[in-house]
A = this chain, B = another copy of it.
């Protein structure tokens, strides 16, 4: 499952990177911009040249979900398809102790039954504008790191604000090529997203944790929403037609989505920081979280429902991090990266333009290895996602305080504090441009469960204490002489932040209202905040130094190797391409397609026990389906976390599948591309239609997706 891993992967691998290297072997590597497609490569290798209209059509049919993850419009009436695991957050929040939509699925038989989701946000990329000149001009050359950060922040905030005022569109400035280029992205935003259809999680995530990141797979990992505006479904000009014939082996296919991050130019030093500090710290937390949530889930059926998404998230992240760490512990990996570094250094030594390259590497090394204590402290106090230069106000996950109420408390505390500063001097997530997203998250009516909050807050406090000791002054100040459990219990039980109305009150009342209310949870957040902000400042200064060095290295690569580049992934819309292709593993050939026959065989092998248990409907309708229908397939197209839900499109621009995972070999794609074994895994469009028609028996949906009216009994 890629969305989750996206979130955690982002925390894992080093700096925001600049470029990746176009391989000499002409592998299909790269996340390309829609306004800068690799026309030469496509023409040379596939004799295909997409025209601007083709590109714009795919771009505007693609959507990004606010919480991460990709999707696409697939009907003239605003139907959007994404993965079940992307939609699961919405499914979870719509459920209660009587309705387990994640587990049991959902279908709205009439428009009135389409359920509006809590805090859903959907973005469609409208346009891109180059603003490099203005951002670069704002930073005086020779500025100290902290001054450069501040000056750039001011310029970016102004650009975003102006654009939003002028167009009414969400406007984000994105750094590409690590500051070699700044692009203003404008999005049409939708907030009324309604649930239309979801299958049972048992088939959406068939095989569960054991099959996650594996292949062959048999998952119907889809979920359908409809986008509304002013209480009516929208009718998007651009949407993808679902192709009933699917793709064929060796076909050229395109993947359009929002890959979170790639780090393909990470230096050895940066990878070592991941291997030695970031990943072990993260994994230790993920292991305990998984055990904790599993134990909690086993205590009752309702517990299992409540913790389901968090547990899947923990498992998925753990498996992903494990895979990346295993890759980094394989000395061959660092040998390859090191070899490349040395090659560049040697080449630079021959060219006076790039004599500063060894210094750039040293700068990066100093930045990432001079203070591992701060990296760890950042993870515990500020956010588990390090070196991404992005902290989400409400969704940041400091390892020391795993509690939704804590996250809300801190966001309120900081929002009111930051509000007192001029817009451009605020932390980015509290600027005016970020306000809609902040408020949506802050005032979400999604349920919060006391027991689960106490459990995760207790556990994360125990981690904090284990690392910093009970006698650490900040820890002492936060625990107030109580045990982690006692403190978590009293905080969760006594805070008023469970009431959305109370959050509004504090938010609107500002610093003085927060102070006057003296809510225990905001007090608790306050006790951690000085440390959290300090560690973040230190990290940002390190990043500034390192990023400048990365930019130099990128320039040198460009100058010395002269290859064509696409920028590293930055959670923005890109497309990649490749073919539908099997691969060899341990001497066996893994075919490109896995069909329904394979699904039923797998269930039989496991005596239909979880996580290989089929939903009842799938058992009963076995005979109604064509067993040879391709279910899942793999492609060499470059994908990483964030590509979950990306449509797979053929040459004619039709939807032929949807990405939902990568195999285990693809986990290293974050930092090294390979098409030898690494594969993205997709649900075939034929399986989607076959299941909707013959398992779920929803002809109206099939008609809407294919544009062909279904005859009864067909």
**Given A331-B482, A484-B329, are A209 and B295 neighbors across the interface (CB < 8 Å)?**
yes
Stretch from A79-87, A102-110, A284-292 that touches the partner: A284-292
Contact (Cβ within 8 A) B470 A299:
no
Contact (Cβ within 8 A) A300 B606:
yes
A466–B485 CA distance with the chains assembled, in angstroms:
29
A325 CB within 8 Å of chain B: yes
User: Closest B-chain residue to A483, C-beta based?
Assistant: B330
- Cross-chain contact of A606 among B301, B469, B482, B483 (Cβ < 8 A): B301
A298–B612 CA distance with the chains assembled, in angstroms:
9
A627 CB within 8 Å of chain B: no
**Given A209-B298, A299-B210, are A326 and B483 neighbors across the interface (CB < 8 Å)?**
yes
A494 CB within 8 Å of chain B: no
A373 CB within 8 Å of chain B: no
A318–B287 CA distance with the chains assembled, in angstroms:
12
User: Closest B-chain residue to A300, C-beta based?
Assistant: B606
Contact (Cβ within 8 A) B611 A298:
yes
- Cross-chain contact of A287 among B284, B470, B486, B605 (Cβ < 8 A): B284
The interface residues of chain B lying within 8 Å CB-to-CB of A343 are: none
The interface residues of chain B lying within 8 Å CB-to-CB of A94 are: none
A280 CB within 8 Å of chain B: yes
The interface residues of chain B lying within 8 Å CB-to-CB of A607 are: 301
A208 CB within 8 Å of chain B: yes
The interface residues of chain B lying within 8 Å CB-to-CB of A332 are: 483
A331–B330 CA distance with the chains assembled, in angstroms:
44
A294 CB within 8 Å of chain B: yes
Contact (Cβ within 8 A) A469 B276:
yes
User: Closest B-chain residue to A314, C-beta based?
Assistant: B291
A276–B318 CA distance with the chains assembled, in angstroms:
25
Q: Mark A288-323, 1 if CB is under 8 A from B, else 0.
A: 101100110011110000000000000000110000
Contact (Cβ within 8 A) A283 B288:
yes
A434 CB within 8 Å of chain B: no
User: Closest B-chain residue to A304, C-beta based?
Assistant: B609
Q: How far is the CB of A132 from chain B (nearest CB, A)?
A: 40
User: Closest B-chain residue to A294, C-beta based?
Assistant: B294
Q: Tell me the count of chain A residues lying within 8 A, CB to CB, of chain B.
A: 42
The interface residues of chain B lying within 8 Å CB-to-CB of A485 are: 326, 329-330
A436 CB within 8 Å of chain B: no
User: Closest B-chain residue to A463, C-beta based?
Assistant: B280
A168 CB within 8 Å of chain B: no
Contact (Cβ within 8 A) B284 A465:
no
The interface residues of chain B lying within 8 Å CB-to-CB of A606 are: 300-301
**Given A330-B486, A469-B276, A484-B329, are A208 and B298 neighbors across the interface (CB < 8 Å)?**
yes
Contact (Cβ within 8 A) A210 B298:
yes
Contact (Cβ within 8 A) B462 A329:
yes
CB contact list, A441-484 vs B, under 8 A: 462, 465-466, 469-470, 481-484
The interface residues of chain B lying within 8 Å CB-to-CB of A330 are: 483, 485-486
CB contact list, A597-618 vs B, under 8 A: 605-607, 609, 611
A209–B297 CA distance with the chains assembled, in angstroms:
11
The interface residues of chain B lying within 8 Å CB-to-CB of A294 are: 294
CB contact list, A158-208 vs B, under 8 A: 208
Contact (Cβ within 8 A) A481 B210:
no
The interface residues of chain B lying within 8 Å CB-to-CB of A329 are: 462, 465, 470, 483-485
Q: How far is the CB of A194 from chain B (nearest CB, A)?
A: 31
A290–B286 CA distance with the chains assembled, in angstroms:
12
User: Closest B-chain residue to A297, C-beta based?
Assistant: B210
User: Closest B-chain residue to A482, C-beta based?
Assistant: B331
- Cross-chain contact of A210 among B208, B280, B295, B484 (Cβ < 8 A): B295
Q: How far is the CB of A564 from chain B (nearest CB, A)?
A: 33
User: Closest B-chain residue to A208, C-beta based?
Assistant: B298
Q: How far is the CB of A311 from chain B (nearest CB, A)?
A: 11
Contact (Cβ within 8 A) B331 A483:
yes
Q: How far is the CB of A471 from chain B (nearest CB, A)?
A: 9
The interface residues of chain B lying within 8 Å CB-to-CB of A611 are: 298
A485–B333 CA distance with the chains assembled, in angstroms:
14
The interface residues of chain B lying within 8 Å CB-to-CB of A318 are: 291
The interface residues of chain B lying within 8 Å CB-to-CB of A209 are: 295, 298
The interface residues of chain B lying within 8 Å CB-to-CB of A275 are: 470
- Cross-chain contact of A290 among B291, B299, B466 (Cβ < 8 A): B291
The interface residues of chain B lying within 8 Å CB-to-CB of A469 are: 276
A209–B470 CA distance with the chains assembled, in angstroms:
29
Q: How far is the CB of A454 from chain B (nearest CB, A)?
A: 13
The interface residues of chain B lying within 8 Å CB-to-CB of A287 are: 284, 287-288, 290-291
A470–B277 CA distance with the chains assembled, in angstroms:
12
The interface residues of chain B lying within 8 Å CB-to-CB of A291 are: 287, 290-291, 318
User: Closest B-chain residue to A470, C-beta based?
Assistant: B329
User: Closest B-chain residue to A458, C-beta based?
Assistant: B326
Contact (Cβ within 8 A) A481 B331:
yes
CB contact list, A607-639 vs B, under 8 A: 607, 609, 611
A288–B210 CA distance with the chains assembled, in angstroms:
16
CB contact list, A330-373 vs B, under 8 A: 330-332
A466–B300 CA distance with the chains assembled, in angstroms:
36
User: Closest B-chain residue to A286, C-beta based?
Assistant: B291
A611–B276 CA distance with the chains assembled, in angstroms:
38
Q: How far is the CB of A518 from chain B (nearest CB, A)?
A: 24
A298–B294 CA distance with the chains assembled, in angstroms:
14
Q: How far is the CB of A178 from chain B (nearest CB, A)?
A: 28
User: Closest B-chain residue to A609, C-beta based?
Assistant: B301
Q: How far is the CB of A524 from chain B (nearest CB, A)?
A: 17
CB contact list, A102-131 vs B, under 8 A: none
15 A-B pairs in the complex with CB atoms less than 8 angstroms apart:
A209-B298, A210-B295, A283-B288, A287-B291, A298-B611, A301-B609, A325-B462, A326-B483, A326-B484, A329-B484, A330-B485, A330-B486, A331-B470, A331-B482, A331-B483
10 closest Cβ contacts across the A-B interface? A330-B483, A287-B287, A280-B466, A210-B298, A287-B288, A210-B299, A329-B483, A287-B291, A290-B291, A284-B284
* Known interface pairs A287-B288, A331-B482; 13 further A-B residue pairs with C-beta atoms within 8 A, sorted by A's residue number: A209-B295, A210-B295, A210-B298, A210-B299, A280-B466, A287-B287, A287-B291, A291-B291, A298-B611, A301-B609, A325-B462, A329-B462, A330-B485
